[in-house]
Amino acid sequence: MNSNRYQNMQYNRCGNSGLKLPAISLGLWHNFGDVDDPSNFRDILLHAFDSGITHFDLANNYGPPPGSAETNFGNLLATDLKSHRDELIISTKAGYTMWDGPYGDWGSKKYLVSSLDQSLKRMGISYVDIFYHHRPDPDTPLEETMSALDLIVRQGKALYVGLSNYKPKEAKEAIGILKQLGTPCIIHQPKYSMFERSPEEGLFSALEDEKVGCIPFSPLAQGMLTNKYLKGIPETSRAAKATGFLQTTAITSEKLSQINRLNEIAITRNQSLAQMALAWVLRQKCVTSVLVGASSAAQLADSIKTLENLEFSAEELLQVEDILRI
């Protein structure tokens, strides 16, 4: 392990809590399932830790198959990182379909408690540092879902709790309930990038008002904000495969034009497009950390270089806005 791993990473306080997170966190949504190469995801994980990334973000359904990312992470935690558990922030979530029947989805107390028990078993640990409700449940009282998060903390199965994919009104109400229960929400995880800006429409201001941290996911818009699409849609890309969240129809000629124009700004900043896109997300006042995925250690290393240039001039921000407005 790199004994100097903490010297070059930036750590930011998470809302009003005592917890600090690295500016770059590693998400295990992709590339850590049973369908992936174990030696490759081991290299990614160890490079992350050696670079000062202490926060690893999972969910019960990450894989594929669902649950396998937690199992694979747990195996590496039990071997390579066994003596470093107290240096790590491990998070997981529940809220999407995980098993058959009426108790394997959404936000009931039954589902959330059972799911976390399963997650802890897969990872071989007694607690997670952060447990999230992954999405709002329209049919379960919010009080029940939040009381489940409160219970989980009181049981010692999680140190902190968070929300993911909640809209501003839902988030404020949930944060208020948790505050009354005595288990404050410390973090929210929304989808946010140059191409997905809905959190700017009330969520960020709500989080600032409530002193809650924020850790955006998909900051590179499923790879669109990288050099991968500068010349069109490569055959090996997610969009070309059309099996995931990014579909070919999303890569329009207008979008390709935006990507290339944004890349021109990145070049003047001596950054890759991906690095500039990550820096742009991190510029938000309430953003504590940004979640990145990686298909290789080299790709993760490129993302970490973002921290070498986080500042934007007023002119650069105006140029970006002009491009995104189209």
pLDDT tens digits, the chain, 326 residues: what are they?
899 999 999 999 999 999 999 999 999 999 999 999 999 999 999 999 999 999 999 999 999 999 999 999 999 999 999 999 999 999 999 999 999 999 999 999 999 999 999 999 999 999 999 999 999 999 999 999 999 999 999 999 999 999 999 999 999 999 999 999 999 999 999 999 999 999 999 999 999 999 999 999 999 999 999 998 887 666 555 555 555 555 566 788 899 999 999 999 999 999 999 999 999 999 999 999 999 999 999 999 999 999 999 999 999 999 999 999 97
Chain CA centroid to CA 259, Å: 22
User: CA torsion angle for 243, 246, 251, 255 (degrees, to 10)?
Assistant: 180
pLDDT of residue 157: 98
| Token representation of residue 39 | 């030696």
pLDDT of residue 244: 57
pLDDT of residue 320: 98
pTM of the model: 0.94
Calculate Rg over the CA atoms of the chain. 19
For residue 162, list its beta bridge partners. Answer: 132, 187
The secondary structure element, H or E, covering residue 274 is helix 273-282
Residue 318 to residues 127, 220, 240, 324, Cα–Cα distance (Å): 45, 20, 32, 10
User: Is the backbone of residue 95 left (phi > 0), alpha (psi -120 to 50) or beta?
Assistant: left
Identify which of 70, 64, 71 has the alpha carbon closest to the alpha carbon of residue 33. Answer: 64
All structural domains of the chain, each given as residue ranges with its CATH number in brackets, are 11-223+280-311 (3.20.20.100)
CA distance 266 to 27: 24
User: Is the backbone of residue 218 left (phi > 0), alpha (psi -120 to 50) or beta?
Assistant: left
Residue 91 to residues 6, 57, 58, Cα–Cα distance (Å): 20, 5, 6
CA distance 319 to 268: 12
- 156 burial (CB, 10 Å; 0-12 / 13-18 / 19+) is exposed
CA distance 269 to 108: 48
pLDDT of residue 231: 73
Tally of residues, the chain: 326
